[in-house]
């Protein structure tokens, strides 16, 4: 049993599980391409430059180390952050979990939700993403950014919270 199924209570039904929208990964992928291109160009230049073999080797090692540090910091870390961020709706609650080394989470019981809103600009509308805003009974509104298909999630959550017909959870 994988996440989030292993966090559900007995008889709790999973309705929706999402990671942040892929747009959060565009800059890390761009950084990977730029870093790799720069490293290949620097390594190529060092091989063709008029310098000793030991200087060329040292420069290659430095370029490789800088490339590795850059890839870990600008690509791998954001990918891990994306993969460990979960937005989950069940028939009983809304869960949000994020973090790599230190995990943070919040659960909002369906019975405590007062208002469900969404917001998205032109670019977000094109990419079918946006911000979901949930107001609970006694807390400030919580904003969840980069939720894929935010209008669908908004509608689904609204029906889970405010549907009086009781026909059970909606599936997506």
**How far does the chain reach from its first CA to its final CA, in angstroms?**
20
16 with 30, same domain? Answer: no
Within a domain: 158: yes
11 with 96, same domain? Answer: yes
67 with 148, same domain? Answer: no
What rounded mean pLDDT belongs to the chain? 89
147 with 125, same domain? Answer: yes
Q: What is the pLDDT of residues 51-95, one digit of tens each?
A: 888 888 888 899 999 999 999 999 999 999 999 999 999 999 999
Within a domain: 74: yes
Within a domain: 133: yes
158 with 112, same domain? Answer: yes
Within a domain: 59: yes
> In the chain, how many domains are there?
2
121 with 91, same domain? Answer: yes
37 with 73, same domain? Answer: yes
Distance CA 172, CA 157 (A): 11
Task: Identify the pLDDT of residue 165.
Answer: 43
76 with 30, same domain? Answer: yes
CATH at residue 102: 2.30.29.30
Within a domain: 49: yes
100 three-state secondary structure: coil
The alpha carbon of 65 is separated from its chain's Cα centroid by a whole number of angstroms, namely: 28
Number of H helices, E strands in the chain: 5, 7
12 with 34, same domain? Answer: no
Within a domain: 168: no
Model confidence at 2, in pLDDT bands (50, 70, 90)? low
Within a domain: 167: no
Both structure tokens of 31: 């950084």
Task: Identify the pLDDT of residue 171.
Answer: 47
Within a domain: 71: yes
Q: What is the pLDDT of residues 13-54, one digit of tens each?
A: 999 999 999 999 999 999 999 999 999 999 888 888 788 888
Task: Identify the pLDDT of residue 163.
Answer: 75
Which residue range forms the structural domain that includes residue 105? 5-20+87-162
Task: Identify the pLDDT of residue 28.
Answer: 97
66 with 114, same domain? Answer: no
10 with 77, same domain? Answer: no
157 with 113, same domain? Answer: yes
pTM over 0.85: no
Task: Return the percentage of the chain with pLDDT > 70, whole number.
Answer: 93
**Beta-carbon-side half-sphere exposure of residue 2 (alpha carbons within 13 Å):** 3
């Amino acid at each position: 049993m994988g996440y989030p199924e292993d966090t559900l209570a007995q008889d709790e039904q999973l309705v929706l599980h999402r990671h942040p929208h892929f747009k959060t990964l565009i800059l890390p992928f761009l950084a990977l391409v730029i870093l790799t291109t720069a490293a290949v160009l620097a390594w190529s230049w060092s091989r063709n430059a008029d310098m000793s073999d030991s200087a060329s080797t040292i420069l290659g090692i430095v370029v490789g180390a800088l490339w590795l540090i850059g890839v870990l910091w600008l690509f791998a870390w954001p990918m891990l952050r994306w993969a460990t961020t979960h937005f989950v709706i069940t028939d009983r609650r809304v869960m949000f979990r994020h973090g790599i080394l230190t995990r943070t989470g919040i659960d909002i019981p369906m019975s405590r939700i007062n208002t469900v809103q969404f917001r998205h600009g032109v670019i977000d509308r094109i990419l079918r993403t946006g911000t979901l805003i949930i107001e609970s009974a006694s807390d400030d509104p919580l904003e969840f950014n980069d939720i894929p298909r935010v209008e669908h999630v908004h509608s689904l959550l609204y029906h889970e919270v405010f549907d009086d017909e009781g026909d059970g959870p909606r599936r997506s």
